[in-house]
Structure 1
Amino acid sequence: MSFDGSFTHAMVQELNQSLATGRVSKINQPYANEVVLTIRANSHNYPILLSANPTYARIQVTQIPYVNPPVPTNFTMILRKYLQGAILKEVTQSANDRVVHLHFTSRNELGDQQELLLIIEIMARHSNVILVDSATDKILDAIKHVGSDQNRYRLLLPGAQYITPPKQDLDDPFQGPRDDLAQTIRDFPNEEVLATTLQHQYQGLGKDTAAALAAILHKSGTATDLFTKFFAGFNQPTPTLEISPKNKTSFTAFPYPTEGTQESAETLSALLDHYYQDKAERDRVQQQGSVLIRVVRNELKKNRTKLKKLQRTLAETENADDYRIKGEVLTTYLHQVNRGDTEVSLPNFYDNNALIKIALSNQLSPNQNAQKYFKRYQKAKNAVIYVNEQLKITQADVDYFSNIMAQIELAAPKDLVDIRLELQQGGYLRDHDHQKKAKKQKRQKVSKPDQFTATDGTKISVGKNNLQNDQLSLHTAKRTDIWLHVKDMPGSHVIIHDENPSEATILEAAQLAAYFSKGRESSNVPVDYVPVKRLRKPNGAKPGFVIFTGQRTVYVTPDSDVVERLQN
């Protein structure tokens, strides 16, 4: 289900019950299009996420931790100026549209009371978060500035008059059904056609909601009663996560008719946290790590192209002996070769004197042609050593950047800082922070690995990138600790902080190693483990690369539930 008007209706009720009369205690903007307001209400802190993300726009209470930028944005500073300490009076919805108003009251700089609106418009790529002065309807600021060149209908700029989004000429389903509902059902016996018709008659019906309503209206019973009962479900929601037979997930305010399985959540916000946690995280990584992804992809493409060229060159060197033989045959039978010939066939004394055809340059003498073949033979022979060395280096680069790409795919936004630092240190990415260059820089610290606790209480650390892996495995871990890594694929270094862990702990740590690796979606993933003292980093090796001996291997299937249970 999309975050449609009907789901917004249910969410607004949930937020009102939890947040009304609460006070704003913190305001942060962890990501470009998302704001988190912490509201203290009923002796609890509620982090409210207002997301204008083009794909995952929504409003909810979230328990997912965020890492805030070191310097707050201008929009954050405006929100703090006007809303810090403000009281949330109520949360309302514009008809059954995806527009939510948070009504605040606060004191201005003179101590006078003022009314403010924080509006979130959930409209895909046009989504926005806007702060408005209720008395004048003037926009104080917006998370996305929209000028006249982008939208002729309205401006979303500081100082502009706030104009509501264009209204659709549709009925609000929470006001009851239309008089012609029964006739509409008779006119459109096909559920898909009826669902489309309902979307054109009633406001705020997403595709899934309209399909569920159409399926219910085709059941026996009075159409008005069925319609009213359906929308009453949004007033008393039973948050539901649906898993289709094709393993696709969707969320609904209450159980819809489905052929898949369904799971319930305690609140709508908890449901969204569960649904969006991985999806939104991937999207943020793609956005924040776009430069890193481009650099790594370019390096991968460059090195893979180089690898193919080197392999072709190596294949050509396999013909080196042919050049030598042709040169020797020419030298032996020079008297039979005439200047100006373009080819000649001569007895090959290496092959029972069978005739061998030799191409010649008519610009060279017979002896010069023979010397040319000897030179080509020597060049090819010398190239073998160089090409094999370059193949080894290039393959290592391909493996290295494939490993970084896998780390970005598995990374949380906070992990990108270390990956960026690693690419800068390797000379693959420029540091454009001129202020830091001008000043005497302090060495940037590598972030700490993620911490987990095994069922028996043993501490387990997981590195999420190469710099963390090096720090963890080569400097932090004791020589007697146990090191784990997936076999023959990119993944995290995992350390069990115990010299003699139980079999159960080794399997749990192996689960972590498999989950934080390229094999996350695979089954029966091999994981090597060995004492840290058997690790060795070759001189000049790339970050995160180690070699080891005497390892043992276990096989596990990654399970997110196990990872969640072990997380501190």
Structure 2
Amino acid sequence: MSFDGSFTHAMVTELSAQLTGGRISKINQPYPNEIIITIRSNRKSYPLLLSANPSYARAQVTAIPYVNPPVPTNFNMTLRKYLSGSVLTNITQSNNDRVIQFHFTVRNEIGDLKSMVLIIEIMARHSNVILVDGSDRRIIDAIKRIGPDKSRYRTILPGDEYVNPPKQDLIDPFQFNDWNQLSELVTTFPNRDVLAGSLQKTFQGLGRDTAAQLARFLHASNALDQQFKTFFNQFDHPVPTMIDAKKPIFLPFKPIGIDAPLKQYESLSLLLDHYYQTKAQRDRVREQGGVLIKVTKNELKKNRNKIKKLEQTLADTKHADDYRIRGEVLTTYLNQVHNGSTTIELPNFYDNNAPIKISLSPEKSPSQNAQWYFKQYQKKKNAIKFVHHQLDLTNADIDYFDNILSQIELAAPSNLVDIKAELQQGGYLRDHEHQNKKKALRQKISQPEQFKASDGTVILVGKNNLQNDRLTTKTADKRDTWLHTQKIHGSHVIIRSFDPSDQTITEAAILAAYFSKGRDSANVPVDYVQVRHVKKPHGAKPGFVIYEGQNTIYVTPTKAMVDQLRANNDQ
């Protein structure tokens, strides 16, 4: 299900119960299109997420951690100026549209109460978060400013009067009571799929999944009015449900006629956290790590091109012996070579005296021509050793940047700071923040994520090369157990136990496989060995180690197990 108007209705009901009467304590903008407003209500803090992300626009209370940028945005500062300390008095929805209005009261500079409205419009790429003066509906600012060059219908700029989005000429289902019209619809369209499409064109705020479920409800009984009321009453008393299919669907009620497994949640917000966590995180990583991804891909492209050139050079060196043979033949028959000649044919004693044609430089003497062939032979012979060395170095670089790209793909936004620092330290990414040439402070490496096995043993998982290096070479005890996927890029995992149980090793191996490039594979091989047998070669790139004496276990990573081990740590 999409975040349609009917789901918006259910979310407004849930948020109103949680937040109304609460006071704003914090306002942050961790991502370009997302605001998190912490509201203190009923002795509890609720992080309210308002997202204008084109793909994942929504409003909810979120439990997913976030990292703030070092400098707040202008819009964030505007929200803090006008809303800090304000009280949320009401949450309303425009008809059954995907527009939510959060009404606040706050005291101005002279102590008078002032009304402010924060509006979120959930409309795909047109989504927006807009701060409006409650007294005259003038726009103070928006997370996305829309000028006349982008919209003919309305502009969203500071000082403009706020104009509602274009209104659809459809019926609000929560205000509907014309049962004859409903009966006519059902009679005219007996096919359930066709009826669902007609319901979407008749009632406002029905997404495809909502309309399909409503059509099922109406076909289930002849008491159309009761079925219709029952269906929409569910949005006032939601049962947050996830259809666990190949393409998961979230609903605010328990669906009918669905064969796939269903999973229920305590709240709509928790449902959305689970649905969007991976998708939204990847989008945020792509958004925040765009420069890192570009630099890494450029380095990969550069090194792969270098490999092609080196392999071509290596192919050329295979003919090095041809130069040696020509040099030796020339030396043997120098008395037959005349000055100024450009070519000569001489018997090749390496090939039963078959004639061999040798090119000559007329400016060189016969002896100099022979020496030139010997020099070319030596040059190509030396090149073989050099090229093999360069191939080894370049392949190592490719492996390194492949690993970096894998880490970015698996990273949470908070992990990007370490990856950025690593690329800066390696000279691959220019450190724009320290162009003043002042001595930069040493980058503080973030902590690895901590999990707990079923028996309570602590398991630590590094999420990037800097974390992996510190975890393996500095933090871990030499008697701890170290795990890593076999020949697959992934995290270093440490079991904080000198003698872990087989169950703990299996659970740690699942973590190692999950936080690796083999996340979506079955039977992933994971090596484990005591930390004492893991060494970092001198001068090796971050995250690179060698080890010996390992055992190998095969596991299939699952998100459910990872979530359980994470929950164990939170208890």
Where does 1:8-157 land on structure 2 (aligned, <5 Å)? 8-157=8-157
For residue 291 of structure 2, give the secondary structure of its aligned residue in structure 1.
helix
Map of 2:248 onto structure 1: 249
What amino acid maps onto 2:55 in structure 1? T
Deviation string 1:148-197 (CA, Å, 9 cap, x unpaired) is: 22223222222221111111112222222765444444544554444333
Give the TM-score normalised by the residue count of structure 2: 0.91
- Give the CA deviation at 1:224: 4.5
Q: Note the 1:158-237 alignment, pairs <5 A.
A: 158-176=158-176, 179-219=180-220, 221-237=222-238
Deviates more, 1:145-154 or 1:405-414: 145-154
- Write the mapping of 1:285-296 to structure 2, written as runs, cut at 5 A: 285-296=285-296
In structure 2, the residue matched to 1:498 is 497
2:553 maps to what in 1? 554
Count the aligned residue pairs: 563
Distance 2:121 2:446 in 1: 36
Q: Deviations over 1:176-227 (max 9, x none)?
A: 2765444444544554444333323222122222333344445553554444
Which residue in the other structure is 1:312 paired with?
312
Question: Using the alignment, how far apart are the partners of 2:316 and 2:230 within structure 1?
Answer: 76
Supply the distance in 2 between the matched residues of 1:369 and 1:201 (Cα, whole angstroms).
92
2:247 is matched by which residue type in structure 1? K
Q: Please, which moves more after superposition, 529-538 or 8-17?
A: 529-538
Q: Report the Cα offset of residue 69 of structure 1.
A: 2.6
Match of 1:302 in 2: 302
Of the structure 1 ranges 374-383 and 528-537, higher mean CA displacement relative to structure 2 is found in 374-383
Residues 264-303 of structure 1 correspond to what in structure 2 (within 5 A)?
264-303=264-303
Query: Could you say which residue in structure 1 is the equivalent of 2:446?
Result: 447
Determine the C-alpha separation between the residues in 2 that align with 1:305 and 1:177: 69
CA distance in 1, matches of 2:355, 2:188: 86
Percentage of matched positions with identical amino acids:
60
**Residue of structure 1 equivalent to 2:533:** 534
Single out whichever of 253-262 and 488-497 deviates more from structure 2.
253-262
Question: Post-superposition shift, 1:287?
Answer: 0.3
Task: Determine the structure 2 residue equivalent to 1:516.
Answer: 515
Contact 2:348 2:356 survives alignment (8 Å):
no
Q: Deviation of residue 292 (structure 1)?
A: 0.4
TM-score in terms of structure 1 length:
0.91
Equivalent residue of 2:436, what SS? helix
Partners of 1:177 and 1:228 within 8 A in 2: no
Contact residue 512 and residue 526 of structure 2 kept, 8 A: yes
- Mapping of 1:432-471 within 5 angstroms? 432-434=432-434, 437=436, 439-471=438-470
**What residue ranges of structure 2 are gaps of 5+ in the alignment?**
none
Q: Which moved more, 1:436-445 or 1:521-530?
A: 436-445
**In structure 1, C-alpha distance between the alignment counterparts of 2:304 and 2:412, rounded to whole Å:** 27
Deviation (angstroms), 1:330 = 6.4
Do the aligned residues in 2 keep the contact of 1:145 with 1:157 (CA within 8 Å)?
A: yes
| 3-state secondary structure, aligned to 1:418 | helix
The verdict on how the C-alpha distance between 1:545 and 1:356 changes in structure 2, with shifts beyond 3 A counting, is: farther
- 1:45 CA displacement: 1.9
Q: CA shift at 1:108, angstroms?
A: 1.4
Q: Aligned pair in 2 of structure 1 residues 472, 221: CA closer, same or farther (>3 Å)?
A: same
Distance (whole Å) between structure 1 residues aligned to residue 342 and residue 223 of structure 2: 100
SS for the counterpart of 1:2 is coil
- Give the Cα–Cα distance (whole angstroms) in 2 for the partners of residues 405 and 356 of structure 1: 56
Return the offset for 1:12.
0.8
1:392 aligns with 2:397: no
Instruction: Determine the structure 2 residue equivalent to 1:478.
Output: 477
Q: Shift of residue 496 of structure 1?
A: 1.7
Deviates more, 1:557-566 or 1:222-231: 222-231
3-state secondary structure, aligned to 2:398: helix
Farther-moved stretch of structure 1 (464-473 vs 361-370): 361-370
List per-residue Cα deviations over 1:463-519 (Å, max 9, x = no partner): 111111111111122222222111111111112222222222222221221111111
Structure 1: gaps of 5 or more residues:
none
The one-letter code sitting in structure 2 at the alignment partner of 1:212 is Q
Partner of 2:424: 424
Q: 1:347 Cα shift?
A: 6.3
Partner of 1:406: 406
1: CA distance, partners of 2:538 / 2:234: 65
- Offset of residue 265 of structure 1: 1.3
Amino acid at match of 1:206: G
Separation (CA, whole Å) in 2 of partners of 1:146 and 1:17:
33
Kept after mapping to 2: 8 A contact 1:424/1:430: yes
Give the deviation of 1:42 after TM superposition.
Answer: 2.4
Q: SS of the counterpart of 1:511? A: helix
Q: Is the 8 A contact 1:323 1:376 kept in 2?
A: yes
Query: 1: CA distance between counterparts of 2:217 and 2:329?
Result: 90
